[in-house]
Structure 1
Amino acid sequence: MFNYFPGNYMWSSAVMLSLMAGGDLGQIDRWLAPLREADTDVDGWTKAWDSAGAQQVEHAEDDLRRGYRRSASARYLRASNYYLTGERQTPPGPAKIHSYQCGLTAFAKAVEYMPRPLERVEIDSPDGVLPGYLIPARDRRGPAPIVIFYNGFDVTKELLYGFIGEEFSDRGIACLVIDTPGTGEPLRLRNVASRPDYEVPTAAIVDYLETRPDIDRTRIGLLGISLGGYYAPRGASFEHRIKACAAWGGVWDYGAVWQHRWATRSKTTSVPFWQLPWVMGTETMEQALQRVQQWTLADALPHLTQPLLIVHGEDDGAIPLSDARKAFHAAGSSDKELRVFTVAAGDGGVEHCNADDPDPARQLIADWFAEHL
């Protein structure tokens, strides 16, 4: 992995994730370079990313004054990326809320000026409203297949859009990037913690999609990235209206992963340790470690009979490759594939969620869904 911050996996992985979502290294370096030689400073981190975002907003506003709507949209999209990248490492409090709100506002502006605007949707569920953006299928006549795209442990629907862009759309498939329990707006604005039984929000989302005349209810896929590699297979295991499922990063026993991280004080986590109690909805780390033990696919995956794709990097520092192999072997599907990107092959990203070279995995996932929906 490109270690922009030598010796700091957390911050370096954040830079890689920003680039994966469409960030520009030159723009990032303009604001983060002073932090490379300094001691770890969370306030400095937040201010640097906020400044990067604010500069892009200023440029977008200049573009609008000149009538350059498409350029402005691209600027706003990068601004949202930078605000939300900094927000991931910022502990709960006013600074975090400020960055997050700025990220939401910039993304909404980007959507407003896109040549083919996304549709914001709000889906009723047992956990309250689940907000998302629907990316329409390009040049499609009649109802389109769709892929629901789930967040992981620490990203948002806005970053999901950066990860996938128009790849599904260009293949005639709609895509719904959505915040679900324990992620994005539900967590940050309404304190809705995660839940192990992700078939519940999955069912609510499918119920909604079945009401739309522009969506083919018989061709609904489900994709999850990072911890979404738990959420998506769990949802598909017990919601068989999902016709194909992919995990962009395999997960097996997330509780065991966190027990190891905490016991060893792991240096290869993508976010600070405070994130686990926050996402789990607990007061203490000990309570969170107890609760996260429910996040295992051992009992769920034998029920997954739909086509399944698991994509994993050989040198994933967050989730071991052995976990992806266990998930693959446990899945009940007769049509299943484990695609491991390796160092020797040099065929794509080998780190967590292929963030060090994401496009080969992104293309593979989109092509696989085009084949299976």
Structure 2
Amino acid sequence: MTHAFPDRVSGPTRRAALAGLVGGAGAAMVAGCARRHASEEVLTPDATASPLPVGGATPGVMTLFPDPGFNFNGLLALGASGYGAAEVGEVLTAVNAINKAGLSAQTYTRTFQQLGDQLLKAPQGGRPGRETTRLRALRAAQYYGQALFFVLGSDEPGDEEQLYRAGRGAWDTFCKLCDPAPVTAGIPYGKTPLPVWFFRPDRSGARRPTVILTNGSDGQDVDMWTYGVQAALERDWNALVYDGPGQGQLLFVDRVVFTPRWERVVTPLVDWLVARADVDADRIALTGLSMGGTLAPRAAAFEHRIAALVAMPGCLAPWLGFPAEIREILTPDKEKTNALWNKEVVPALSPLEAATMKKRMEPFSVQAMVDAREGRMFTDFHTPAERVKALDITDVVGRIKAPTLVLDYEFEQFYPGQPRQMLDRITAPKEYVKLTAATGAQLHCSPMAPQQHCAVVFDWLQETLSAH
């Protein structure tokens, strides 16, 4: 899930223009493939991106909510039902309840939180068995994640850590009831271990290819189930899920923010994997979802034990996801930058726009997160903005040696054009696939079509690593 900015809004003053760009109507922030699927479009190098048309935040898709940000997140929940991480009826019932109560961060957060709470209790009139409990916990993790995404804009922003812990508890319950249960560990990283979940198809100990699944700036572990774990297990692969700095436990509990040196995160994971007898050390793949499409390529540029890389989508510079007018207030002068932020931008923000900025910046600033949880807007824009800017990998992707698949999406609303730009800079063997609206796979990360998405990724991985 990624917050995005809406279409450009013109205004009579710079202050008005800045405010309009930040939130608008409360929008959520934000070489051809050998095997083609019906949902794919393989483009020639001179093809152009398909940016979101003005006024159509979700073209050609169902409308769950009138606000495109809430709608995008609702579509992610609905799409997760294909892998059991949601239930269509539950999601649509929640959507109807939210719309009836009046769409807001408050109604969205509390409705999905209550749904998560309900699923962790025994169903009426029955005593759930192990499998029922396992799958209810998986769906609960999804719904707590939905609530967590908007809690900073609710009446109880201080509930953020509690909501994260509820979702993490549901995820852990699900994992413990899997057969086999994933191996869990804390892999050394600075002063804070990285929590990992290592999923295997069975207990045989057979040596298998393994995929490391990298999340983005605001996804939860349950999203990695939808975008890789189950697909890997179905194909007799191992799958490693982890929280890195700025993600999951490291952000919400340990308060460790994103680092631009993602190779320092992935290398310890690879060390841990190659030491295992059930991992084929020559067939370790790395994927990156959403902003992970920056993080994973950065890691692969320096960690050359990665045998195959998938960027979903390719993203060279997350900072470019911010409107030019917002980027322009960032100057080398911290005092000047923060004066512009506090005097021109913040006073013009609506509550929903303010919540959007808080969510955007909390993975890059502990102080911004603390302020947001206490109902305040952060005053230091310069520090987190510089950290976002430092994620730029434009100058390092040429060092990638692993075969690379770059995904793109029709109507990509967060990083339009960047997948093609990444492809042009990669010198390793590379392929490009654009998922399209022809079969409902459009928009960032194909929220309505994760099964198609995984089919593209794993068909390419299996073909690419079959020679190893």
Q: Is 2:107 the partner of 1:13?
A: no
Q: Which aligned pairs between 1:341-360 and structure 2 lie closer than 5 A? A: 341-343=435-437, 346-360=438-452
2:402 match: 306
1:240 match: 304
Q: Which aligned pairs between 1:38-187 and structure 2 lie closer than 5 A? A: 39-59=102-122, 65-66=127-128, 68-91=129-152, 93-126=157-190, 128-138=192-202, 142-187=206-251
Q: Which digits, 9 at most, give the CA deviation of each residue in 1:277-314, with x for residues without a partner? A: 21112643333223211111211110012100111111
Picking from 394, 419, 424, the partner of 1:324 is: 419
Q: CA deviation at 1:235?
A: 0.4
Q: Which aligned pairs between 1:211-222 and structure 2 lie closer than 5 A? A: 211-222=275-286
Q: Which digits, 9 at most, give the CA deviation of each residue in 1:174-220, with x for residues without a partner? A: 01011111111100110000011111101111111122121122211
2:387 match: 291
The number of equivalent residue pairs is 363
Structure 1 18/260 Cα, relative in aligned 2: closer, same or farther at 3 Å?
farther
Q: CA deviation at 1:51?
A: 0.7
Q: CA deviation at 1:137?
A: 3.5
Q: Name stretches of at least 5 consecutive residues in structure 1 with no aligned partner.
A: none
Which residue identity is paired with 1:205?
L
Which residue identity is paired with 1:295?
L
Paired residues of 2:144 and 2:166 also in contact (CA < 8 A): yes
Paired residues of 2:213 and 2:240 also in contact (CA < 8 A): yes
Which residue identity is paired with 1:42?
A
The DSSP-based 3-state class of the residue aligned with 1:242 is coil
Point out which structure has higher relative CO (alpha carbons under 8 A, 6+ apart).
2
Paired residues of 2:288 and 2:294 also in contact (CA < 8 A): yes
Structure 1 182/60 Cα, relative in aligned 2: closer, same or farther at 3 Å?
farther
Which residue identity is paired with 2:130?
R
| CA distance in 2: counterparts of 1:315 and 1:285, whole angstroms | 29
Paired residues of 1:59 and 1:75 also in contact (CA < 8 A): no
Which residue identity is paired with 1:32?
V
2:52 match: none
1:315 match: 411
Which residue identity is paired with 2:436?
T
Per mean C-alpha deviation after superposition, the further-off stretch among 87-96 and 195-204 is: 87-96
Larger radius of gyration: 2
Q: Which digits, 9 at most, give the CA deviation of each residue in 1:124-182, with x for residues without a partner? A: 11252111211113587632111100110101223211332421122221010111111
Percent of matched pairs sharing the same residue: 23
The DSSP-based 3-state class of the residue aligned with 1:114 is coil
Per mean C-alpha deviation after superposition, the further-off stretch among 156-165 and 96-105 is: 156-165
1:276 match: 360
| CA distance in 2: counterparts of 1:25 and 1:294, whole angstroms | 39
| CA distance in 1: counterparts of 2:423 and 2:208, whole angstroms | 29
The DSSP-based 3-state class of the residue aligned with 2:459 is helix
| CA distance in 2: counterparts of 1:151 and 1:82, whole angstroms | 17
1:364 match: 456
Q: CA deviation at 1:349?
A: 0.7
| CA distance in 2: counterparts of 1:61 and 1:175, whole angstroms | 35
| CA distance in 2: counterparts of 1:169 and 1:62, whole angstroms | 33
| CA distance in 1: counterparts of 2:418 and 2:400, whole angstroms | 17
Q: CA deviation at 1:361?
A: 1.4
2:24 match: none
TM-score, scaled relative to structure 2: 0.72
The DSSP-based 3-state class of the residue aligned with 2:185 is strand
Picking from 307, 313, 324, the partner of 1:249 is: 313
Q: Which digits, 9 at most, give the CA deviation of each residue in 1:37-88, with x for residues without a partner? A: 555432222211111111211246976x35x211121111101110111102
| CA distance in 2: counterparts of 1:80 and 1:107, whole angstroms | 6
| CA distance in 2: counterparts of 1:194 and 1:62, whole angstroms | 46
| CA distance in 2: counterparts of 1:354 and 1:94, whole angstroms | 31
Q: Which aligned pairs between 1:198-209 and structure 2 lie closer than 5 A? A: 198-209=262-273
| CA distance in 2: counterparts of 1:211 and 1:50, whole angstroms | 40
Paired residues of 2:78 and 2:448 also in contact (CA < 8 A): no
Paired residues of 1:130 and 1:180 also in contact (CA < 8 A): yes
| CA distance in 1: counterparts of 2:250 and 2:213, whole angstroms | 16
Picking from 34, 42, 46, the partner of 2:97 is: 34
| CA distance in 2: counterparts of 1:279 and 1:147, whole angstroms | 25
Q: CA deviation at 1:331?
A: 0.8
Q: Name stretches of at least 5 consecutive residues in structure 2 with no aligned partner.
A: 1-60, 329-344, 369-379
